Structure 1
């Protein structure tokens, strides 16, 4: 069995042991961004602390941070620290997002895309997940169960997105990771459909929880084929739930118009 070191023994920012230049600092922070370790909005340690942890002078650190800011990877707030920029928001430009939001066809295309993407991601996660990854999935799933049992709708939705992000991290593929995060950002913003439609009934929530458990169980077991099938079944269920919700909503609208036409409304 794989041995898990104490997480506290790791330092996010490793000491630079060779040429202590701004380029080396830039490279280390770039990799943390690329690998998804640092996320949008994360705050970097203060200048004194960070220079100490990287073992570089403060002028070198300032030069590196300035370059990363110029390239739009970091943002600095006067007197408020340095933060990771909104990298995900830049994957889909604002005009494209607004265009997608105006056309219903995008919803089915989005789910079709996610079905294939999440199938591949779950399969890779099952093959590549480390013990740390499996522990992360277990903890997020436990939070999701707890929110479900409490009936905390919003907390369960948040855990849903966090779990899918974590599965993306378990796949250890940088392009997949950032593509999925962009997809989930649009989902959280309600660009394609309102997630409350899918969570509208207790039965739906039970089904979704069961599906998430199945995906995680397959990944933790290391069964790639089963993980892929479970992930795609999950998206198929969401697609069907959305179609049903939209159809019911349309029927409701038509019924109301008929009543109005017959003068049967108050």
Structure 2
């Protein structure tokens, strides 16, 4: 029988036994993926972390250096490591400024938020932990306390943090990445929206109540109710802006509808 060996190929190397540091790395990576370690979280001291994991400090140190090389953790000023924000904004500030100068785009951003946040609320109702639920309740309560302040900028910060918390409670890494990617865009959109909505004082209480309903549905583990609550919240904002202060957006929609017709 003729020899059919192809000289271009060589025997596959047998996989070597993983080093302990690689196992540590995988475990910490999994904690980041699962949301147990959030962007900005400080890791315990090397001594404490080694004790918690039941490993030697040299193996842990090697794992931390590997995680740092992958951009997942970074050395903190003063010592120790923190989790890197790997899902930082991907929408550039120049684009945010461009959209700010064109009021008609507020409606476009709301349409984008509508799709993302309804999905986020639904998954959050299925997967939120007790800690997630507590965090959402506290955030909605904080917004209600500010009801008399009427500061669009500060309220927009709280608003975007709340909706990001809902996304994080979904424990869907891809969804959180996209939401964080448009963080600056959302913040700008919320500030502009609140500036308009605050022209009618009753809207503030309605917005707060809508946030509470989203939280209630998530805490009740009801994904349909959570999706509906998020849908009602964003639909209310869109409708109110078109009626109160966004005639350009309304006209743009009309032109699109006429073109399709």
The normalised TM-score by structure 1 is 0.70
Matched, 1:102 2:92: no
Q: Which moved more, 1:43-52 or 1:121-130?
A: 121-130
Matched, 1:197 2:167: no
* CA distance in 1: counterparts of 2:77 and 2:125, whole angstroms: 44
Q: Which residue of 1 aligns with 2:258?
A: none
* CA distance in 1: counterparts of 2:157 and 2:34, whole angstroms: 22
* CA distance in 2: counterparts of 1:180 and 1:99, whole angstroms: 16
Evaluate the alpha carbon distance shift between residue 165 and residue 93 of structure 1 in structure 2; reply closer, same or farther with a 3 A threshold.
closer
Structure 1: tracts of 5 or more residues without a match? 1-18, 249-266
The normalised TM-score by structure 2 is 0.71
Secondary structure of the residue aligned to 1:40 is coil
Evaluate the alpha carbon distance shift between residue 53 and residue 152 of structure 1 in structure 2; reply closer, same or farther with a 3 A threshold.
farther
Q: Which residue of 2 aligns with 1:143?
A: 142
Secondary structure of the residue aligned to 1:83 is strand
Secondary structure of the residue aligned to 2:232 is helix
Matched, 1:114 2:113: yes
Q: Which residue of 2 aligns with 1:92?
A: 90
For the pair shown, the structure with the greater C-alpha radius of gyration is 2
Number of residue pairs aligned between Structure 1 and Structure 2: 225
Evaluate the alpha carbon distance shift between residue 113 and residue 77 of structure 1 in structure 2; reply closer, same or farther with a 3 A threshold.
same
Structure number with higher relative contact order (C-alpha < 8 Å, ≥ 6 residues apart): 2
Evaluate the alpha carbon distance shift between residue 40 and residue 172 of structure 1 in structure 2; reply closer, same or farther with a 3 A threshold.
closer
Secondary structure of the residue aligned to 1:194 is helix
Q: Which residue of 1 aligns with 2:160?
A: 161
List structure 1 segments (4+ residues) > 6 angstroms apart after TM superposition: none
Evaluate the alpha carbon distance shift between residue 155 and residue 147 of structure 1 in structure 2; reply closer, same or farther with a 3 A threshold.
farther
- Superposition deviation, residue 146 in structure 1: 2.4
* CA distance in 1: counterparts of 2:60 and 2:145, whole angstroms: 43
* CA distance in 2: counterparts of 1:199 and 1:47, whole angstroms: 49
Q: Which residue of 2 aligns with 1:47?
A: 46
